[in-house]
Each structure stands twice: as C-alpha cells, then as structure tokens.
Amino acid sequence: MNTNELFSRLTNDAAYLIDEAQALMLVIDVVPVAEKRGGIESMLDMIYLIDHAQQTYYRPLIEKIFSLPDPNAATQDFRKTVDYDAQLHESPAAVLKSIIENRRSFVDYLKAIGQDHILKTGIINSEEQSIAGLLQEMIAFERQQLKLVAERVLSIDRSKQEQGKPGL
C-alpha cells in the first residue's frame, strides 16, 4: 500500500467514528447508556473513553510527532488517566456531540498535515512510533470499544424481546 492509499484509508477510518456516534444518537434515548452491568463500565463510559483517548493521548502525540523535529514523549496510558466522573454532569447526547466535534476537528487536522507526514516517527514511551501507527492503534481501540457498545445494545434488545417488549 502506498502512502496515499494508507493516508486515505486511515483518515476515512478515523472519520468513521463520526458516523458511529451519529448512529448512537438515534438510540441514545431508548437504551440505558449510563447503566453499569455487573461492575462492567457503562456504554457511556466506553464512549467517553474513546473521546478521552483521542483528546489526551492520540491527538497530542500525533501533534508532537508532526510538529517537533525530534519528538520524544513519555505519557501514561489513557485508560489510567480517564476520570469517568468528569462526564457524569453531561448528557449522553452531549458526550456523543463532543466526540463528533472533536473527531471532525482531528480529521481536519490530519488532512491539513497531509499524507507526506503520515510515516513520520517519534519516540513514544521509549518506542519508535509513526503517525500512521498511532492512528492504526487508535482506530483498533475504537473499533473494539464500539463492538462492546454494539454487543451491549444487542443484549438489551434481546432482553426486551424476551420480555415481550418491542425491540429497538
């Protein structure tokens, strides 16, 4: 895959989160997104973690790699720095709107830096990482989170149907 194809695939994959968040907006009022089941994080927590990872980990690292001549950064895993209580005062719709706005801004940023920098590398936590590698890692993480959210929605829908209630 050449640089142009890689850049196009990664920016399209990154933009896909916007579509997913918009789709979740359609069911947010009929699904108990803030409910925690069996000690497992809520769907809202899972969604919030995506935005937190983008805003506090992936985007800042990508910006450092792009803007510094010899980038070197040490950072904590975003899963350890997330404060789920920070989103408690926000509605689920507000969290999704934030994700959509932040992702649009991030995709615009990526398009502005362009494909010529997608393979630029820096040292992150003592390991060499490229912008492309960080994007691939971010997208894989988001897909996993969205898969968990979808599984939870389907589980709720099945439970409703088994109880004789209309599904989603």
CB-count burial class (<10 Å; 0-12, 13-18, 19+) for 143: middle
Cβ neighbors of 10 (< 8 A, separation 6 or more) are: 110, 118, 132, 135, 136, 139
Of the two residues 96 and 166, the one the predictor is more confident about is: 96
What pLDDT, in 10s, does the model give residues 135-162? Answer: 999 999 999 998 888 888 888 777 777 7
Domain parsing of the chain, residue ranges: 3-162
- Report the alpha-carbon distance of residue 166 to residue 51 in Å, rounded: 31
pLDDT at site 36: 80
pLDDT at site 151: 85
Q: Are 41 and 84 in contact (CB under 8 A)?
A: yes
Of the options 3.40.50.20, 3.40.50.150, 3.20.20.150, 1.20.120.450, the CATH number for the domain spanning 3-162: 1.20.120.450
Segments in the chain forming alpha helices (H): 3-27, 43-53, 59-67, 78-81, 92-113, 131-162
What pLDDT, in 10s, does the model give residues 9-59? Answer: 999 999 999 998 898 888 877 778 778 877 778 888 998 999 999 999 999
- Report the alpha-carbon distance of residue 24 to residue 48 in Å, rounded: 13
Q: Are 97 and 83 in contact (CB under 8 A)?
A: no
Cβ neighbors of 30 (< 8 A, separation 6 or more) are: 168
Angle, helices 43-53/92-113, rounded to nearest 10 degrees:
30
Give the pLDDT mean for 83-101.
84
Instruction: Quote the pTM value.
Output: 0.88
Average pLDDT in the chain: 88
